Amino acid sequence: MKGAIREFSPEKSKIIHFHKGLITKYLGISINEKLKWSLHIDSMCQKPFKGINFMKALCKSCFEDSVKEEIVQEEVYNNENQVESTLRKSKYWKCTQCDYRTTDKCTMKRHINTVHLGIKNHKCTLCDFETAQKSYHKHHLNSPHLGQKNHESSHCDYVAYRKSNLMEHINSVHLGIKRYKGSQCNYRAASKERLKLHMENVHLGLKNHKCSQCDYRAATKGRLKIHIESVHLGLKHHKCSQCDYQAALKGNIKKHMEIVHLGLKDHKCSQCDYRAATKATLKIHMESVHLGLKNHICSRCDYRAATKARLKLHMESVHLGLKNHKCSQCDYRAATKGRLKIHMESVHLGLKHHKCSQCDYRAATKGTLKIHMESVHLGLKDHKCSQCDYRAATKGRLKIHMESVHLGLKHHKCSQCDYQAATKGTLKIHMESVHLGLKDHKCSQCDYRAATKGTLKIHMESLHLGLKNHKCSQCDYRAALKGNIKKHMESVHLGIKDHKCSQCDYRAAAKGTLKIHVESVHLGLKNHKCSQCDYRAATKARLNIHMESVHLGLKNHKCSQCDYRATTKGTLKIHMESVHLGLKNHKCSQCDYRAATKGKLKTHMESVHLGLKDHKCSQCNYRAATKGRLKLHMESVHLGLKNHKCSQCDYRATTKGRLKIHMENVHFGLKDHKCSQCDYRAAIKGRLKTHMESVHLG
């Protein structure tokens, strides 16, 4: 026969002379006890004949290729085991294209036609199934189309169409018998067919069955059918008994049970402590994490994934915006059930099982913990902004930076004010800290409270440790945050103050500063009270300045041109500009008075032009426009305190300003203020005004 060869040996091809009992047992033939005769079994088709002539006459098709008489031996078998062994091993037809062997020429012919030539003459009229044998065609009709599964497993609820499938199931699943081992890996299969599928699918990459609705390819028609039913038709017949998970295959239900409900992850990574439930998942981990293999590239961005499934998730969530899994407790939506579960556990249940080994940070996932380790403790921020020097630990954070800072995109709006945030998390912090007043993180060294650990950390570093790592490029200003440097640049050096007060012409560089202005100036809200006097401030920072300057006498900022000392750099700057540079940019609209600050101009307007002097002396009828002036009056008039002494005479003044006027007027003869109606000159405007009123106005 073409495509097959015969192999002969004495033990594989025999004309067997049987005793009566053995013939009856193995072939079911009744023979008279008195008769002893030779039974000839054809070596090709195993049909029994009384003699050679019977075999020649009745089985010509087999006999023409059977063994020649001269090499056939006659042997008597008295042992049952010898008979059984000989009948089982007598396979001398070997396929030349593979290692298939058989004792039957017809079976060999069928093997060559179906396997190597692909001849399948029996076609199903209901589907595209084809087979070479009628029996298989009958089985096919009874099983998929008629649903007849008559072979039930006694160990589980498995039901098979054929007995052979049931035996394969029992051997592989319940007995663990997998006799066929792969030549290229340690994979083992219960049948040659399964091993062949493994070889074609895994090692040869043969997936000849393509889905008509997408680019999915499968190694078998069965897997393609499962793909179509589960993905395109949404048919998932197997349901988990402990949750609402559904799968198209029982095997997936089993994996789900082991991973989710039993926590079984038997496959450990050899390079890290990662554990997986399946070898395939471990392989993906090895390739993506340790080998950096991410072969699936997004067609719309530079995202790369280790699997098609992850690429699909990326496409749906990022580019298509599909997030079909909604949280039952808030408006959060996720692209996968797994991410929704993580959200539920971390946000609503507060479960964060992964703890940092270097600090008390806890994360819901290992990935988030890894990002924390790299960015916080190792300082790894590999993603650099193309428009500024900002660096991020992840692409996601870099994207948020690009959208919020450079594009001005802030999609999340506060429902109670006009605040907008780039992320939901930032909006949540705003809601809790501003509108709900929740500040759960307390400083261990003072009574400062913060809404987040990060803000508390900045407070600790800047105030208690004095760490201000961000320096202004144009002055010696230092800040704990880059954002504060930016605000400083815009407000101080660029003069950008985009936030205007709706009730006056005040402008601020930040919304927070404008809010403080509105509350303190227009609403009179000053909630921070001094514990040593009745001073009230709109912010803790201003209260701290008051405490340091008034009660503690701390004035750490010294003028380089005189002995003036200030509590803050800002106050020192005003002194430098007004006293030494003569810069007084705020002009009165009703007279030629100029002030260095808006506050002083306001005081001038209220006291001089509006006559508002709300601060009354308790010991006389003196009234002052400011508490400071009332204090000076009290100290100089009622207490007789004049702490500033002239270096050239015994004159003493209440303030440095008055001492300066004395020096210029008496010792230097400087009288810069001239009367417009006569040649009178005065050292100060007040005296010139008194002269005008008394002399020229009568």
Q: What is the pLDDT of residues 241-254, one digit of tens each?
A: 988 888 888 888 88
Residue type, 230: S
Does the structure show a pLDDT above 50 at 480?
Answer: yes
Give the whole-angstrom CA distance, residue 672 versus residue 411. 60
Answer with the residue of higher pLDDT: 142 or 658: 658
Tokens read off for 310: 């992850």
Lowest-confidence pick of 168-177, 266-275, 299-308: 168-177
**Which residue, chain included where needed, has tokens 């996932």?**
365
Question: DSSP label at 140?
Answer: H
Tokens read off for 464: 């208690």
- Residue 9: per-residue pLDDT: 43
- Name 180's bridge partners: 189
Give the whole-angstrom CA distance, residue 172 versus residue 599. 89
**CA proximity to 658, closest of 670, 681, 642, 682:** 642
- Name 363's bridge partners: 354
The alpha helices in 210-298, defined as continuous H runs, are 221-227, 250-256, 279-285
CB neighbours (10 Å) of residue 649?
Answer: 11
Give the whole-angstrom CA distance, residue 498 versus residue 486. 14
The alpha helices in 315-409, defined as continuous H runs, are 337-343, 366-372, 395-401
pLDDT tier for residue 137 given thresholds of 50, 70 and 90: confident
Does the structure show a pLDDT above 60 at 26?
Answer: no
Question: DSSP label at 70?
Answer: G
φ, ψ dihedrals at 333, nearest 5°:
-130, 140
* Farthest CA pair distance, the chain: 171
Domains of the chain from N-terminus onward: 4-116 (no CATH), 150-206 (3.30.160.60)
What angle in degrees, to the nearest 10, is found between the helix axes of 20-27 and 80-89?
Answer: 50
Q: Is pTM, for the whole model, over 0.85? A: no
Q: What is the mean pLDDT of residues 184-189?
A: 85
- Residue 145: per-residue pLDDT: 67
Alpha carbon 542 to chain centroid, angstroms? 41
Does the structure show a pLDDT above 60 at 358?
Answer: yes
Answer with the residue of higher pLDDT: 271 or 21: 271
Lowest-confidence pick of 131-135, 207-211, 542-546: 131-135
CB neighbours (10 Å) of residue 696?
Answer: 12
Q: What is the mean pLDDT of residues 298-302?
A: 87
Does the structure show a pLDDT above 50 at 80?
Answer: no
- Residue 77: per-residue pLDDT: 36
Task: State the pairing for strand pair 304-305/296-297.
Answer: antiparallel
pLDDT tier for residue 475 given thresholds of 50, 70 and 90: confident
DSSP string, 300-333: SSS-EESSHHHHHHHIIIIIS----EE-SSSS-E
Give the whole-angstrom CA distance, residue 112 versus residue 342. 55
Q: For residue range 191-201, what is the model confidence (pLDDT) as tens digits?
A: 888 888 888 88
DSSP string, 551-608: IS----EE-SSSS-EESSHHHHHHHIIIIIS----EE-SSSS-EESSHHHHHHHIIII
Give the whole-angstrom CA distance, residue 269 versus residue 446. 48
- Residue 1: per-residue pLDDT: 58
**Which residue, chain included where needed, has tokens 């921020």?**
381
**Which residue, chain included where needed, has tokens 């402590």?**
273
Q: For residue range 604-639, what is the model confidence (pLDDT) as tens digits?
A: 888 888 888 888 999 999 888 888 888 888 888 898
φ, ψ dihedrals at 638, nearest 5°:
-90, -30
Q: For residue range 491-519, what is the model confidence (pLDDT) as tens digits?
A: 888 888 888 999 988 888 888 888 888 88
Does the structure show a pLDDT above 70 at 60?
Answer: no
CB neighbours (10 Å) of residue 6?
Answer: 17
Q: How many CA atoms lie within 13 A of 522 on its CB side?
A: 12
pLDDT tier for residue 25 given thresholds of 50, 70 and 90: very low
Q: What is the mean pLDDT of residues 291-307?
A: 87
